């Protein structure tokens, strides 16, 4: 996502320092609230991705967020000094400029979510039903379990089943890969994939709809196993970190090239050790988000004595650990190394 050059203001346009500070504070507050709303609901995402009139998008988002009670919206800036209408209009205009990038870069930002290689191999597990969800199950350990939440390609993709088999072979766990997408998983055929509407996918798999299902599976596993771990890839990452905020449910939470996280909330709320495996280039989890995660993890590690780690892989992009080309030696080495990061992390959590 790129940023427009806003340019310098001439002397006639400059406002007092206190005014500019108030504008910046107000703008950040609104942007933060919109970001939280966008992450929590696909409505905002769809509005942004489908409409070219950014002013209309902003107006609709503000109205929707206000209606849902996510945050109070005032037509005046909270400051004892009088503010002119141009102050508020310029602020909204700048917010509109920022929001316009969601539309212009939307296709680019999701490009690596829906591309990649299909891995070859024969999965060794079986399909069962867990908490009313069809679930690929591999391994035979009766003490520990891993809940594995996939990306947009779903639980039938060979890559995910093969990775789950690897975890079951290298760790004392039984791995569960549920179907949380209900036939909305992206097709493996490249041509068919081009016709998929990401907005409809996001709306159909909204967090308020899917998280209760994810939580139900996790609780059922917890009722049967002493320790439950969770790992999520891309779309599946947000659910894993939300589970990590539940009391006494998980022993550890790992995510690979996460997307749809609510930052900083999902990081601040973690109550268990956590691992983030991230490519250096990732519009879903850019350097700015990593920097926030580093600061939060550092503070929580010191204050709460929990283990946190962020493993960054230069030269790779979003999706590489699950859908990278294993026939390329360089990429395959990185995939193997990333898998080992998760294995070592889970071993630490199982001690």
Question: Tens digit of pLDDT for each residue in 288-313?
Answer: 999 999 999 999 999 999 999 999 99
Question: Tens digit of pLDDT for each residue in 156-213?
Answer: 999 999 999 999 999 999 999 999 999 899 988 888 878 888 889 999 999 999 999 9
Question: Tens digit of pLDDT for each residue in 105-164?
Answer: 344 345 555 566 677 899 999 999 999 999 999 999 999 999 999 999 999 999 999 999
CA dist 18 → 15, 38, 120 (Å):
8, 30, 61
Whether domain 111-350 has CATH 3.40.50.1820:
yes
pTM of the model: 0.71
Selection from 278, 226, 272, 221 nearest residue 251 by Cα: 272
Selection from 249, 217, 250, 226 nearest residue 150 by Cα: 217
- Measured distance CA(351)–CA(3) in Å, rounded: 46
User: Which residue intervals of the chain are DSSP H helices?
Assistant: 17-40, 42-50, 54-67, 85-104, 106-109, 158-170, 190-193, 198-204, 207-224, 237-243, 265-268, 287-304, 320-323, 329-350
């Amino acid at each position: 996502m790129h940023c427009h050059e806003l340019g310098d203001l001439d002397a006639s346009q400059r406002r007092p320092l206190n005014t500019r500070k108030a504008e910046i504070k107000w703008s950040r507050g609104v942007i933060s609230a919109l970001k939280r709303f966008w992450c929590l609901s696909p409505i905002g995402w769809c509005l942004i991705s489908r409409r070219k009139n950014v002013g209309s998008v902003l107006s609709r988002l503000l109205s929707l967020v206000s209606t849902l009670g996510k945050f109070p919206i005032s037509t005046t800036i909270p400051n004892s000094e009088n503010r002119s209408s141009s102050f508020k209009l310029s602020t909204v205009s700048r917010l509109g400029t920022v929001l316009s990038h969601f539309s212009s870069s939307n296709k680019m930002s999701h490009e690596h979510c829906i591309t990649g290689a299909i891995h070859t191999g024969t999965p060794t597990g079986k399909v069962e039903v867990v908490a009313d969800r069809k679930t690929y199950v591999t391994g035979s350990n009766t003490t520990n379990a891993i809940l594995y939440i996939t990306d947009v390609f779903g639980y039938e993709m060979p890559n995910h089943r093969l990775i789950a088999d690897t975890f079951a072979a290298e760790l004392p766990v039984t791995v569960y890969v549920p179907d949380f997408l209900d036939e909305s998983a992206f097709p493996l055929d490249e041509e068919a994939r081009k016709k998929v509407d990401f907005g409809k996918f996001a709306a159909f798999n909204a967090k308020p709809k899917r998280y209760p299902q994810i939580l139900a599976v996790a609780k059922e596993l917890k009722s049967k196993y002493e320790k439950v771990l969770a790992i999520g890839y891309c779309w599946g990452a947000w659910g894993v970190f939300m589970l990590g905020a539940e009391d006494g449910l998980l022993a550890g939470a790992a995510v690979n090239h996460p997307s749809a996280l609510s930052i900083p909330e999902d990081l601040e709320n973690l109550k268990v050790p956590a691992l983030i495996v991230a490519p250096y280039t990732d519009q879903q989890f850019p350097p700015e988000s990593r920097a926030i995660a580093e600061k939060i993890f550092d503070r929580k590690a010191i204050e709460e004595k929990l283990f946190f780690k962020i493993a960054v892989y230069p030269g790779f992009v979003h999706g590489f650990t699950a859908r990278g080309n294993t026939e390329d030696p360089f990429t395959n080495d990185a995939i193997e190394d990333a898998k080992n990061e998760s294995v070592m992390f889970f071993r630490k959590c199982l001690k």
